[in-house]
Amino acid sequence: MTKRGLEISKQIKGKLSQDPTIFQVDIFHKNVKETLKRIFGGYDAIIGIMAAGIMIRSTCKLLSDKKQDPAIIVMDDAGEHVISLISGHLGGANNLTLKIAKLTNARPVITTSTDVHGYMSIDALAKKYYWEIKNLEKIVKFNKAILEGRKVEIKAPRKLKYLCDDPFFKKSYKLIKDGNKVVKAIMDKDELLIKPRKLVAGIGTRKGVSEKKIIEGLKRTLSFLDLPLGRIDALATGEMKKNEEGIIKTSKILRIPLKFVDLNSLRSKDTYSTSDFVKDRFGVGSICEAAALHVAGEGSRLIIRKTTFNGIAIAVAVSREKVLKSVQQNKTKQKEDH
């Protein structure tokens, strides 16, 4: 909108582009209302460097529901405050607000009740660990209980023990180990069914890299999303790494299954990153990205693009969200009802 706003947006773009969890940042400078209408469905987040009123008036008619809408954030064009307006939890606006505030030295303004009181809402928990909540309509009720200081029980199999190390988790939840494979959140007699999506870390290394360095690299990469190693469901690499001891030992030490992906499958994947060396030699843009996407399955997407450190390249993919379908059906139905 203003010149100063444009300058700030360029700064933010520069900084966000270096973040491997962010895949595309575009700047639109003019025709606020028209531009927002056009781009609304195409981005996970929209950051308006303008008055809150302009942003709200321009997106008002475009809003649909919690599950579908992009994160909407506003920053004043003096860069003093950055405000999470829409889709704080499920859409990730709160986390992105914190990230931008950190990058720009602005003050983050978050208003969702659980957050301001230091609790963790059930939708924030789900968003953080890439869980799907099957009964979205119960979220409000669970969050209300959390706000009243009650602890929600999470019944989960042994392998979800990474939750115990989350300091925010402890204030609002109690983990109960359970043989059942289904994860449940329980409050009074109400149940909320949870399906963790599949998270796969794809690994590419130079020859002879040690498991110690790989594990260090994995931790460092996952830290971009504040994810614990224990949340990773599988490791993946290309078949050409079949004899790399470092990778094999990593899988054994971490007790995370390792999949080798054949060259044809790797080549069938569109990767975000491209290394000329790898492209020339194997015909695939990035082995770690392609391997992660293949093992995460049809419709999966990268959540951390290739990040390299000490000769190790790591990317993380997440399987497709399946709840979405039923929500979209509802949405279509609602539109027809009008």
Interface contacts to its own copies, rule CB under 8 A: 1-5, 50-53, 56-57, 60-61, 63, 74-78, 80-81, 83-88, 93, 107, 109-113, 116-117, 144, 147-148
Quote the crossing angle between the two packed helices 211-222 and 245-254, to the nearest 10°. Answer: 60
Q: How far is the CB of 154 from its own copies (least distance, A)?
A: 23
Nearer to its own copies, 109 or 215 (CB): 109
In the block, tokens 């008036």 appear at 57
Nearer to its own copies, 61 or 281 (CB): 61
Which is nearer to its own copies, 111 or 264 (by Cβ)? 111
The residue written with tokens 């007699």 in the block is 189
Tell me how far, at minimum, the Cβ of 134 lies from its own copies, in Å.
22
Instruction: Please check whether residue 235 is in contact with residue 200, taking contact to mean a CB–CB distance below 8 angstroms.
Output: yes
Residue 98 CB neighbours (<10 A): 15
CB of 266 to its own copies, least distance (A): 41
- Closest separation between CB of residue 271 and its own copies, Å? 35
Q: Nearest approach, Cβ of 84 to its own copies (angstroms)?
A: 7
CB 73 within 8 A of CB 45: yes
Nearer to its own copies, 88 or 204 (CB): 88
Q: Select 86 or 185, whichever has its Cβ closest to its own copies.
A: 86
Q: CA 118 to CA 324: how far, in whole Å?
A: 29
Q: Do the beta carbons of residue 272 and residue 290 sit within 8 Å?
A: no
Kindly tell me which of 25 and 54 has the beta carbon lying closer to its own copies: 54
How far apart are CB 168 and its own copies at their closest, in Å? 16
Beta-carbon contacts of 94 under 8 Å, excluding residues fewer than 6 positions away, are 84, 88, 110, 112, 115, 124
Sheet holding 81-86, edge to edge: 45-49, 71-75, 81-86, 107-109
Buried b (16+ CB within 10 A) or exposed e, 255-277: ebebbbbeeebbeebebbbebee
Please say which residue, 82 or 185, places its beta carbon nearer to its own copies.
82
Query: Based on CB atoms, which residue is closest to its own copies, 92 or 285?
Result: 92
Q: Where are the beta strands (DSSP E) in 188-257?
A: 190-196, 199-205, 234-238
* Least distance (Å) between residue 68 CB and its own copies: 12
Contact 152, 142 (CB under 8 A): yes
CB of 121 to its own copies, least distance (A): 10
Residue 71: left (phi > 0), alpha (psi -120 to 50), or beta? beta
